[in-house]
Every structure is written in structure tokens, then in C-alpha cells.
């Protein structure tokens, strides 16, 4: 039971006893007391004046007096302008702490029975993953973990964009400038090699356009007439016709990229339950076009193209089928959505896609509604801002992106340098240190990105993300390692941190009560974060909990406590705190070491 629901329940009893009136506990407003006032929780009195027929102060004092006479868990109260501020007693905090420490599944919310698909990553196979993909992947993975922790069955999915003009550009450049080159012969990861081909295509195009412009052609026309662009479009037509040579090249180069992606995902700790490929899905949705024509959602223009008119809804006309009968991206997305909701019996679907696609998903939902799918409102676009570096924006076709693999390695190097400078890993052997450098670097990367609300753009600075004393992943890791160190020393002394061995009724200090309060709100933080699809809520909670513990540790001599019962209570308290920290950071996707 939460403190809020406990107080509301007792207030219902007080109102019945004082005013012979029945009120629902859910109708009462109980909130955490503001810092400038004395008390733990506040009951808003104003809605009760209609049953008390008295002033706010008199009503608050009457209810507060009844609490003091009848509720031993309440130790005091004060009334400020219609707000009844309530202080809970040691009895309450002891009972609450015991219930938290005794619950092996504390913070894991009950099952909802709902199936939720979270789609993220969805890369193109013409380049390696970069910093933008990292934010997408870390958000998608963390949201998946968050929804699972809040009681849902979660399916992590990705749609790989493995066909189209952009893929053919890399293929053409490989033929022209890299023919015969392989990951093995070049010593490069496959996705890096294909990314080099994509950059090279842009170089080829630039040269050809400059030549055509020098010959008097308009620059825009030159981009269309460049021999390389014509060759790429011819290659795409051949691919769609199933040309054996083109398909073999496409399959070979995509295989290189898939191997490269897998290595990067493994380094990030990312995995998927379902992987979809555009070459299998790009024709989906065409049958829905006929359905839309039949129910009046779509119209066919004289040239044979099919459109959905959304102007009455404040949008525009949206093409769903070209005049030559080929589909467009929105057509594919309509078909994939229908298949997924049908095959996986989804209750909702979350798309983790950058905010530049806000309009696309508004259109997708609206067209699905017009097609009569009742689940259209259960599609959610988790829109997130772009990631920039101190140097500015990234451009993949110019080869100025921050490669994901390079960034992961840079985080390792930063973690190693910072750890060595601080001396925090002294005494560990080299193998342990190497493992910790990787763990610290990954935590720094994940926490720094996830702690920012998804809707905000962010500036990523690798060096700032690794600070053992700041709002960082490594700070939380070090806090956990510090707790584990205390517990190891306690175990060496034969002390128990098992809750069943704890003496009842041990008095908690004010700082210990603050820790219990923070622990107690963790399940609500999980629920709030899941409702908002914002793992940042959990990241900032984990930091607050770690920060509060470090203040407590600084002021409280845990292992030097002479009273055996108090010492054991404190060991149980910090052990519980370590467990909750670990559960919170598991949602964020990184691990907490026991030694640092």
C-alpha cells in the first residue's frame, strides 16, 4: 500500500466518524508535502467543505485531530490554508521498509496481459550504424525493457531497409571503384566497406555533375542526367525484375552489412525478437488500396494513381499507389501494420523514429482509421530529437558521420583514461580492468543519451559522459560498487543483511526515512515512465537514489555502528537499495559492477 492510499483510506474513516458522510478514497487528493512545509504528505481539504460545512482550517484540524487519536502510524499534523500536512510515524516507515525489503519482485509491475511491439533501429544497408542510430537503438531497447518491467509482453522488432535506390548506389560504386574488394581483403567490417562505397558514389556523382554543368547543363538537370544516376535506376529496375547478376551482388553486399550490424548490436547489448526485411515487405499493402477504393477512403486519379485525400483533416492528399501500379513507403507501412496486428495479436505498436517523420506517422494513423482498423489509435510514434556533436550535424553521404563502432571504442578509451586517472580500479588484475572499462564506457554512453527526454534534441560529448562524481552512468555504477564493498566487509565479519534476521521496530534516522521514501516511489516511477514512453524518468530516478545514498554514506558510519540491530537494519537498507538500483539500470540497458 502506498502512503497516499493509506492516508486516503484513513481520511475516509475520519470523514465518516466526524461528519457521518461517505466519500470515495479515489476522490481525495493526497500528495507529497512541498519542501517548504513540515510533513510527509498533504491532504487537500477544500473538496471536503461541502460535507464538513466548516472552514478549511477547522476541517483540517478536525481530521488531523481524529488521525492523532485513532491512527498510530500518523505522528503529527499541521494545517496551512486548507492543506492538511501529515507526518507519518516511525511505525509507518518501519512497516513500509519491511514490506519493500521483503518483496523479491519489488518494482516489477503486475502483468497486463498486453502484447506490445516496439520497432526500432531500422537501418539502411548502405552504411554502418552511426550516432543517430545509437540514440534510436538505446531508446528502443530501453523502452522495450521499460514496458516489460511494467507488466507487458514485449516484442522487439526491426525493419531493415535493404532495397532501393540508396542500396543500388553502393552497389554501383563497388562495381566502379571497389570491384573484387571484400571485408576479408580490405580488413574492414562489411558495413564499413559498403559505407565507403556509398561515399564514393557521391564523389562519382559530383564529378559527373560538374562535367555536365561545365558543358552548359542546368545543375538540377545534370543530377538527373548524370550517367551514374541513370545506371543506378537501371540497376534498380533489374533488381525488381529479378536479374540474377544484380541480385547476387545485392545479396553479397547486404550479407557484409548484416554481419557488421550484428557485431555493433552485440557491442551495444542490443537484440531483436523479429527482423523484417524491406525486400519481403515492400509489396505489402497493395491489397489495402483496393479496400480503400471500395470503401471510399481512396480515389483513383485519371492517370491511374491512387490517393487518400486528408485535406479535411488538416493534412494533404497522400499518394498510396503510383500510376504504374507500384507502391510507395506509406503503402508498405499500412500493410506491415495490418500484418503485425493480425499475426502477433498486438494491443499496441510503438515506432521509435526521429521527429523528422512526425508527419508520416500522423498520415499513417489517419489512413488506417479511414480503412476501418479499430487499432489505429493504438499505434504510437515515439518521436525523438536528433543527436549532435560539438562539431555540428552529421552527413552520411559526405562521410562525416560519427560511426557507432568508433564511438563505442572512444567510450572505452575515455573510460580507461578516466579510471586510470582517478585510481578507482587499483588492485584489480588486467582482465578485470578491461572488462570494467567496457562496462563503464557502455554505461556512460547509454545513460548520457537516455537521461535526456526523447523529445529533446541533444548534444553528445563523450568526455562529459564519464564522470565518477556527476550525473552519469559511471557515478551510479560506482555507487553500487561502494554498496557491494560494504556488504562484503559485513559478510567477512559474519554480519547478516537478510531481512528475516532483522529485529523489528528499529528506529530509522531522518536520512534513512528519506531513502525509504525514494525506494517506495520506484514502482510509480516505472509506471509513469512507461505511460510517457520515457526511460529518462528512470535514469533520473536512479541518479537521485545514488546521490541520496552517497550523502547518507558520507554522514552515517554504517559499519562502525555499535548497536547490532541498527547495524543490521542499515545493511538490509543498503542491500535493498542496491537491488533497486540494479533493476533501474537494467531498464536503461547497462550493468552495475560489484567492484570498481
CA distance 67 to 64: 5
Give yes or no: residues 572 and 442 share one domain: yes
Whole-number percent of the chain with pLDDT over 70: 98
CA distance 45 to 138: 44
- Take residue 49 and report the three cell numbers written for it: 467543505
Q: Is residue 582 part of a domain?
A: yes
CA distance 430 to 526: 37
Close Cβ partners of 354 (under 8 Å, ≥ 6 residues apart): 132, 136, 383, 384, 385, 386
Q: For position 455, what pLDDT does the model report?
A: 87
Give yes or no: residues 82 and 177 share one domain: no
The pLDDT tens digits of the residues spanning 395-421 come to 444 445 678 998 899 899 989 988 888
Average of per-residue pLDDT values in the chain:
93
Q: Is residue 453 part of a domain?
A: yes
What's the N-to-C CA distance of the chain in angstroms?
A: 36
387 φ, ψ (degrees, to nearest 5):
-105, 130
E strands within 401-531?
A: 458-459
- Take residue 446 and report the three cell numbers written for it: 547509454
Domain of residue 25, CATH code: 3.30.1360.70
Q: For position 391, what pLDDT does the model report?
A: 62
Number of folded domains that form the chain: 3
Give yes or no: residues 175 and 262 share one domain: yes
The pLDDT tens digits of the residues spanning 149-185 come to 999 999 999 999 999 899 999 999 999 999 899 999 9
The pLDDT tens digits of the residues spanning 423-454 come to 778 888 889 999 999 999 999 999 999 999 98
Q: Are 57 and 75 in contact (CB under 8 A)?
A: no
CA distance 139 to 382: 9
CA distance 169 to 202: 9
Q: For position 274, what pLDDT does the model report?
A: 96
Q: Which residues pair with 318 in a beta bridge?
A: 308
Torsion, Cα of 361, 365, 368, 374 (10° steps): 150
Give yes or no: residues 566 and 430 share one domain: yes
Give yes or no: residues 190 and 66 share one domain: no
Give yes or no: residues 80 and 215 share one domain: no
Give yes or no: residues 187 and 67 share one domain: no
Looking at the predicted structure, is the pLDDT value of residue 199 above 80? Answer: yes
Q: Is residue 149 part of a domain?
A: no
The count of residues in the chain is: 596
Among candidate residues 576, 451, 589, 592, the one with its CA nearest the CA of residue 519 = 576
> Model confidence at 324, in pLDDT bands (50, 70, 90)?
confident
In this structure, the number of other CB atoms found within 10 A of the CB of residue 20 comes to: 8
Positive or negative, the CA dihedral 99, 104, 108, 110 is negative
Q: For position 427, what pLDDT does the model report?
A: 80
Give yes or no: residues 84 and 173 share one domain: no
The pLDDT tens digits of the residues spanning 346-395 come to 999 999 999 999 999 999 999 999 999 999 999 999 999 888 776 654 44
Provide DSSP, 518-570: HHHTHHHHHHHHHHHT-THHHHHHHHHHHHHHHHHHHH--TTT---HHHHHHH
Q: How far is CA 594 from CA 450, 481, 539, in A?
A: 23, 5, 20
Q: Which helix (H) or strand (E) holds 348?
A: strand 348-354
| Interval 470-484 mean pLDDT | 95
Give yes or no: residues 446 and 550 share one domain: yes
Q: Is residue 395 part of a domain?
A: no
Which domain-ending residue is among 53, 72, 88?
A: 88
562 φ, ψ (degrees, to nearest 5):
-85, -30
Domain of residue 490, CATH code: 1.10.730.10
Q: Is residue 298 part of a domain?
A: no
Which domain-ending residue is among 230, 245, 266?
A: 266
| Interval 278-293 mean pLDDT | 90
Looking at the predicted structure, is the pLDDT value of residue 197 above 50? Answer: yes
Residue range(s) defining the domain that contains residue 173: 164-266
Give yes or no: residues 72 and 169 share one domain: no
49 exposure class (CB count in 10 Å sphere: 0-12, 13-18, 19+): middle
Q: For position 102, what pLDDT does the model report?
A: 95
Q: Which residues pair with 269 in a beta bridge?
A: none
The pLDDT tens digits of the residues spanning 526-536 come to 999 999 999 99
Cell 543500388, residue located:
168
Q: What angle do CA 140, 419, 535 make, to 5 degrees?
A: 20
Q: Is residue 122 part of a domain?
A: no
Q: Which helix (H) or strand (E) holds 156?
A: strand 153-160
Q: Are 41 and 30 in contact (CB under 8 A)?
A: yes
> Model confidence at 2, in pLDDT bands (50, 70, 90)?
confident
Which domain-ending residue is among 226, 241, 266?
A: 266
Give yes or no: residues 413 and 510 share one domain: yes
Long-range CB pairs of 61-69, under 8 A, 24+ apart, other chains included: 62/18, 63/11, 63/14, 63/15, 63/18, 66/14, 66/17, 66/18, 67/10, 67/14
> Model confidence at 592, in pLDDT bands (50, 70, 90)?
very high
Q: Is residue 497 part of a domain?
A: yes
Among candidate residues 548, 566, 565, the one with its CA nearest the CA of residue 557 = 566
Question: What's the half-sphere exposure (Cβ side, CA atoms, 13 Å) at 307?
Answer: 14
Q: For position 401, what pLDDT does the model report?
A: 66
Q: For position 120, what pLDDT does the model report?
A: 96
Q: For position 399, what pLDDT does the model report?
A: 46
This prediction has a pTM of 0.90
Q: Is residue 280 part of a domain?
A: no
Give yes or no: residues 71 and 178 share one domain: no
Amino acid at each position: 500500500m502506498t502512503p497516499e492510499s493509506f492516508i486516503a483510506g484513513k481520511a475516509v474513516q475520519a470523514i465518516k466518524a466526524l461528519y457521518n458522510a461517505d466519500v470515495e478514497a479515489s476522490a481525495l487528493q493526497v500528495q507529497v508535502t512541498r519542501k517548504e512545509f513540515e510533513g510527509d504528505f498533504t491532504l487537500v481539504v477544500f473538496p471536503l467543505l461541502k460535507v464538513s460545512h466548516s472552514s478549511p482550517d477547522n476541517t483540517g484540524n478536525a481530521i488531523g485531530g481524529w488521525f492523532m487519536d485513532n491512527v498510530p502510524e500518523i505522528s503529527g499534523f499541521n494545517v496551512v490554508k486548507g492543506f492538511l500536512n501529515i507526518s507519518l510515524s516511525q511505525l509507518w516507515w518501519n512497516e513500509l521498509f519491511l514490506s519493500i525489503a521483503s518483496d523479491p519482485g519489488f518494482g516489477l509491475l503486475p502483468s497486463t496481459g498486453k502484447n506490445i511491439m516496439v520497432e526500432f533501429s531500422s537501418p539502411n544497408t548502405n552504411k554502418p550504424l552511426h550516432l543517430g542510430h545509437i540514440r534510436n537503438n538505446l531508446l528502443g531497447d530501453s523502452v522495450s525493457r521499460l514496458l516489460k518491467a511494467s507488466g507487458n509482453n514485449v516484442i522487439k522488432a526491426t525493419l531493415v531497409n535493404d532495397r532501393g535506390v540508396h542500396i543500388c548506389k553502393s552497389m554501383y560504386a563497388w562495381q566502379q571503384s571497389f570491384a573484387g574488394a571484400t571485408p576479408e581483403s580490405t580488413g574492414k567490417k562489411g558495413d564499413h566497406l559498403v559505407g565507403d562505397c556509398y561515399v564514393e558514389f557521391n564523389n562519382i556523382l559530383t564529378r559527373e555533375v560538374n562535367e555536365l554543368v561545365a558543358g552548359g547543363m542546368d545543375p538540377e538537370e545534370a543530377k538527373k542526367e548524370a550517367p551514374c544516376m541513370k545506371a543506378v535506376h537501371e540497376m534498380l529496375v533489374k533488381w525488381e525484375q529479378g536479374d540474377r547478376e544484380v541480385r547476387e551482388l545485392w545479396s553479397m553486399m547486404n550479407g557484409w552489412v548484416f554481419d557488421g550490424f550484428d557485431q555493433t548490436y552485440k557491442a551495444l547489448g542490443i537484440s531483436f525478437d523479429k527482423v523484417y526485411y524491406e525486400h519481403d515487405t515492400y509489396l505489402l499493402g497493395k491489397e489495402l488500396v483496393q479496400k480503400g477504393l471500395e470503401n471510399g477512403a481512396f480515389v483513383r486519379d485519371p492517370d491511374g494513381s491512387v490517393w487518400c485525400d486528408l485535406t479535411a483533416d488538416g493534412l494533404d492528399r497522400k499518394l498510396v499507389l503510383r500510376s504504374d501500379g507500384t507502391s510507395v513507403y506509406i503503402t508498405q507501412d499500412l500493410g506491415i501494420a495490418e500484418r503485425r496486428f493480425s499475426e502477433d495479436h498486438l494491443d499496441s505498436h510503438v515506432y521509435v523514429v526521429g521527429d523528422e517523420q512526425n508527419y508520416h506517422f500522423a498520415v499513417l494513423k489517419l489512413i488506417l482509421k479511414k480503412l476501418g482498423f479499430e487499432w489505429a489509435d493504438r499505434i504510437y510514434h515515439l518521436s525523438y530529437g536528433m543527436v549532435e556533436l560539438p562539431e555540428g550535424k552529421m552527413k552520411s553521404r559526405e562521410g562525416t558521420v560519427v560511426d557507432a563502432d568508433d564511438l563505442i571504442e572512444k567510450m572505452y578509451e575515455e573510460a580507461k583514461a578516466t579510471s586510470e586517472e582517478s585510481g578507482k580500479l587499483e588492485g584489480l588484475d588486467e582482465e578485470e580492468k578491461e572488462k570494467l572499462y567496457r562496462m563503464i564506457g557502455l554505461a556512460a554512453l547509454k545513460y548520457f543519451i537516455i537521461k535526456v527526454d526523447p523529445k529533446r534534441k541533444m548534444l553528445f560529448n563523450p568526455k562529459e559522459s564519464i564522470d565518477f562524481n556527476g550525473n552519469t552512468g559511471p557515478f551510479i555504477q560506482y555507487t553500487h560498487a561502494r554498496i557491494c564493498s560494504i556488504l562484503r566487509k559485513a559478510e567477512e565479519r559474519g554480519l547478516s543483511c537478510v531481512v528475516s534476521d532483522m529485529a523489528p521496530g528499529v528506529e530509522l534516522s531522518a536520512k534513512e526515512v528519506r531513502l525509504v521514501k525514494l525506494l517506495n516511489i520506484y514502482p510509480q516511477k516505472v509506471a509513469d515512465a512507461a505511460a510517457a514512453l520515457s526511460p529518462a524518468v528512470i535514469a533520473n530516478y536512479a541518479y537521485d537514489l545514488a546521490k541520496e545514498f552517497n550523502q547518507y554514506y558520507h554522514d552515517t558510519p554504517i559499519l562502525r555502528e555499535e548497536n547490532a540491530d541498527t547495524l543490521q537494519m542499515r545493511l538490509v537498507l543498503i542491500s535493498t537499495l542496491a537491488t533497486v538500483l540494479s533493476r533501474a539500470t537494467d531498464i536503461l540497458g547497462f550493468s552495475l559492477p560489484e567492484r570498481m
